[in-house]
Amino acid sequence: AQTVTQSQPEMSVQEAETVTLSCTYDTSESDYYLFWYKQPPSRQMILVIRQEAYKQQNATENRFSVNFQKAAKSFSLKISDSQLGDAAMYFCAFVGSGNTGKLIFGQGTTLQVKP
């Protein structure tokens, strides 16, 4: 079975600084997708970034980028120039091959941004 682990329950960053959230996963599949979702207090799930396992290039979306290490099964999220609006709970998620849409989530990391 696939598992996703986020070992940092809480993280804190100063506004305008950079922070990295960690995520590791376990799977026997070679083809899969990885995601980072943001969940603000409204509880709406917001897709931050997505990475296809077959792509070696790390995904980037404006201030958000990932460090995808397939061999190490690691998928960290880097937030640059942190803003107050980035404060939220962040979830790393995995979905296996077959385009099922069935997401397996990590435990989540609560990010605090200090002004």
Partner 1 sequence: GAVVSQHPSWVICKSGTSVKIECRSLDFQATTMFWYRQFPKQSLMLMATSNEGSKATYEQGVEKDKFLINHASLTLSTLTVTSAHPEDSSFYICSARAEGPNTIYFGEGSWLTVV
Residues in contact with partner 1 by the rule CB under 8 A:
33, 43-45, 47, 50, 52, 89, 91, 95, 99-108, 110
Could you tell me which residues come within 8 angstroms of residue 98 by beta carbon, excluding any fewer than 6 positions away?
none
Which residue, 22, 20, 30, 19, is CA-closest to 70? 30
Whose Cβ is closer to partner 1: residue 44's or residue 83's?
44
In the complex, the smallest distance separating the C-beta of residue 20 from partner 1, rounded to whole angstroms, is 20
In the complex, the smallest distance separating the C-beta of residue 105 from partner 1, rounded to whole angstroms, is 5
d(CA 11, CA 31): 30
Whose Cβ is closer to partner 1: residue 86's or residue 108's?
108
Whose Cβ is closer to partner 1: residue 37's or residue 79's?
37
d(CA 98, CA 26): 17
d(CA 94, CA 83): 26
d(CA 14, CA 115): 6
In the complex, the smallest distance separating the C-beta of residue 100 from partner 1, rounded to whole angstroms, is 7
Whose Cβ is closer to partner 1: residue 14's or residue 102's?
102
In the complex, the smallest distance separating the C-beta of residue 80 from partner 1, rounded to whole angstroms, is 25
